Structure 1
């Protein structure tokens, strides 16, 4: 609730100052590939509480660092409202850690995703799914 009040206050301030506001959002999922077979099946599940970092560079050259954690659906989200002149230009999303007991090994090719952020205000960018693998493959996978 406090965050919503802060964001609304920032938008109001930008409006009063005559600066056009820009809002962006980045989201993605984190899953556990239980069998380590690189395909998502019924045995796989989302990872709640996984940490993801998103670094963005703005059009004005400022680097912004966001930290996010996945929810019960395995989804993380970062969002920002700022002046149009300072909007995101390019970003890097990177998984940092999984706090799931058996699923802590980051799958190959999951070190991070770089992307340009060229969406207009109010739109979002969906990052491809990050995959962790189980430390012990269950016997039903073999």
Structure 2
């Protein structure tokens, strides 16, 4: 919505200034991934596997200035989670650790892979994301059709 008392050229100039001020020294990072139920426990994603909605994921990052920041994310109906933040360039993430905590899925609650978490250096430029390989959980007993 525009203000009719401000000329269109001035509105455009103000928008450009706001954009530039917001971009000076700012950095935006994003980490995303998925949590799935590996129904057969074969460590591969197949048609029988499904997303785990509501699974909790912890993301711990160390910034360029040495600060430790901790995030908590929950998966959506597609098993996807995202952590994103905009911060000063000097506080951008340097390295991160992502690990699954679990979720409200008693039928698929055991870790299917040996990874306790994924650690990586965050080298993405502002506005880009880092995608973590899916975390897999498996049921206590695999269905008969998996044998």
Cα shift at 1:40: 1.4
Cα shift at 1:41: 1.3
| Contact preservation (8 Å) 1:95, 1:110 | no
Equivalent residues in 2 for 1:86-105 (5 A)? 86-105=91-110
Superposed CA deviations along residues 83-126 of structure 1, whole A, max 9, x for unmatched, are: 00110000000000121231000123231000000111100000
Provide the residue aligned with 2:64 in structure 1.
59
| Contact preservation (8 Å) 1:15, 1:21 | no
Structure with greater Cα Rg: 2
Q: Does 1:40 align with 2:36?
A: no
Provide the residue aligned with 1:136 in structure 2.
141
Return the TM-score normalized by structure 2: 0.82
- List runs of 5+ in structure 2 lacking aligned partners: 1-17
Equivalent residues in 2 for 1:1-142 (5 A)? 15=21, 19-142=24-147
| Contact preservation (8 Å) 1:33, 1:44 | yes
| Contact preservation (8 Å) 1:33, 1:132 | yes
Alpha-carbon RMSD across the aligned residues, in angstroms, is 1.7
Q: Which runs of 4+ in 1 moved over 6 A?
A: none
Cα shift at 1:49: 0.6
Return the TM-score normalized by structure 1: 0.85
| Contact preservation (8 Å) 1:103, 1:134 | yes
